[in-house]
Structure 1
Amino acid sequence: MPTETLSQKEIEDRLAELPGWSLDGDRITRTYRLGDHFAATALVVHIAQIQQELDHHSEVALGYNTVSLAVNTHEAGGAVTAKDFQLAERVEQLSESHAAV
């Protein structure tokens, strides 16, 4: 069963509920700042765990004290779907326990 893409309005409405997230082309994105490199690395490991649980993976970039995500759904031709927001919401909840801003 194919995953349905979200309309521009649906994307905008959902982004309004996720401060810090934005639409960049055909992906939703967010960069988190953390205290240091070890804290950023720990967040990446926990994001990977969530991605495995959801069977939905994003592009993750690790910097010295930053973690950036870019999320879209490959099986929907690279469009934004509800699966992307499910992942973003889980990461957003997780980021609080890592003191990520």
Structure 2
Amino acid sequence: MPAAPLPQNEIEDGLRELPGWTTEGDRITCTYRFPSHFAAAAFTVHVARIQDELNHHSDLTLGYNTVALSVNSHDAGGKVTEKDLALAARVAAVAPGHGAE
């Protein structure tokens, strides 16, 4: 069963608990900065594991010392769902352990 899109006010409420995460069109996004490329790459691997555990995947871009994430739910017509907020919350929880700013 496809996930139901969230109304904008519920998305905004969820993002209040997730520093750095914002809406961009029909997606939620965040860019993390790290002390080194290696730290950013390690974070990317950690995020990939979380995404596999949740069976929900974001667009994930590794830069020199940054990692950008952008996510929505294809099965909800490209809208933001609870699955997206859950993924963002898991990512936000592990980011400080990798030295993210």
**Over 3 Å off, 4+ runs:** none
Q: What is the one-letter code of the residue matched to 1:89?
A: A
1:78 maps to 2:78? yes
Question: Does structure 1 residue 7 correspond to structure 2 residue 4?
Answer: no
Fraction of identical pairs, as percent? 59
Deviation at 1:78, TM superposition (A): 0.6
- Cα RMSD for the two superposed structures: 0.6
* TM-score normalised by the chain length of structure 2: 0.98
Could you tell me which runs of 5 or more consecutive residues in structure 1 were left unpaired when the two chains were aligned: none
Q: Which deviates more, 22-31 or 9-18?
A: 9-18
Query: In the alignment, is residue 27 of structure 1 matched against residue 27 of structure 2?
Result: yes
Q: Extract unaligned runs of 5+ from structure 2.
A: none
Per the TM alignment, residue 40 of structure 1 is displaced from its structure 2 partner at its CA by 0.4
SS in 2 for 1:2: coil
TM-score by length of 1: 0.98
Shift of 1:99: 1.1
Equivalent pairs, count: 101
Q: Indicate the larger mover: 12-21 or 82-91.
A: 12-21
Q: CA deviation at 1:2?
A: 1.9
Q: Match of 1:18, SS?
A: coil
